[in-house]
Amino acid sequence: MGDIVDPGTGLTERQKTAVRESWAKMGKDNIVEFYFRLFTTFPHIRAYFKTLDGLDQDALKISPKLRAHAINFRHGVSSFIDNLDDIECLVILIQKVTENHFRRNIKPKPFEEAFSLFTTFVGDVQEVDEFTLNAWKATLATVLSVITEHMKTLEEQTDGH
Ligand code: HEM
């Protein structure tokens, strides 16, 4: 039963459970740390965050703006995880996030980088097995495919096609 693939997300029930349990263990501090790592690993991603301009590493680490960004991300990801069983709602939620970022000229590539780093991060801060890490990879690949697809549509609309 747990191994039957949900055709909407491409995930099995066991994979969804693994991701839900892992996500539930991610506290605010973890996500703040993830964001700090994201910005230090990918300075070009940080460059999109104009409100963080001028902060050095030490100031960034304790910045309330960094914490606020982390909270935004956390709420967004939580809404995805909470709706893994409702693909129609999930797609709308992801499309909304895509539109908010498309307006800021953010392409799928930074999402791909952020997601790949996130899986590594989970492995670093939690005691997770290979199954859970692969479940995260599969989940984020599904999210990324919706983002990429929707960005294409938005670009076509912008081009006037
Ligand atoms: C699943 C992944 C992500 C989620 C759920 C997410 C969610 C959000 C939310 C909820 C906001 C605030 C609402 C808004 O202003 O639209 C936001 C703002 C923002 N996000 Fe993301 N985001 C994600 C990934 C990324 C990535 C990969 C980048 C890389 C450049 C990024 C860059 C930004 C920027 C620049 C802002 C505006 C910050 C500001 O106004 O100060 N986000 N994001």
* pLDDT digit string, tens, across residues 40-65: 999 999 999 999 999 998 999 899 99
**For residue 1, is it within any domain?**
no
Q: Residue 37's closest CA among 132, 146, 120?
A: 120
Ligand 1 touching residue 101 (CB < 6 A): yes
Structurally, how many domains does the chain consist of? 1
* Full residue range of the structural domain in which residue 114 is found: 13-158
pTM for this prediction: 0.94
Ligand 1 touching residue 77 (CB < 6 A): yes
Q: What share of the chain in percent tops pLDDT 70?
A: 98
Ligand 1 touching residue 104 (CB < 6 A): yes
Ligand 1 touching residue 115 (CB < 6 A): no
**Which residue has its alpha carbon closest to ligand 1 atom 3?**
73
Per-residue exposure over 25-44, b if at least 16 CB sit within 10 Å of its own CB, e if not: ebeeebbbbbbbebbeeeee
The alpha carbon of 33 and the centre of ligand 1 are apart by a number of angstroms equal to: 16
CATH number of the domain within which 129 lies: 1.10.490.10
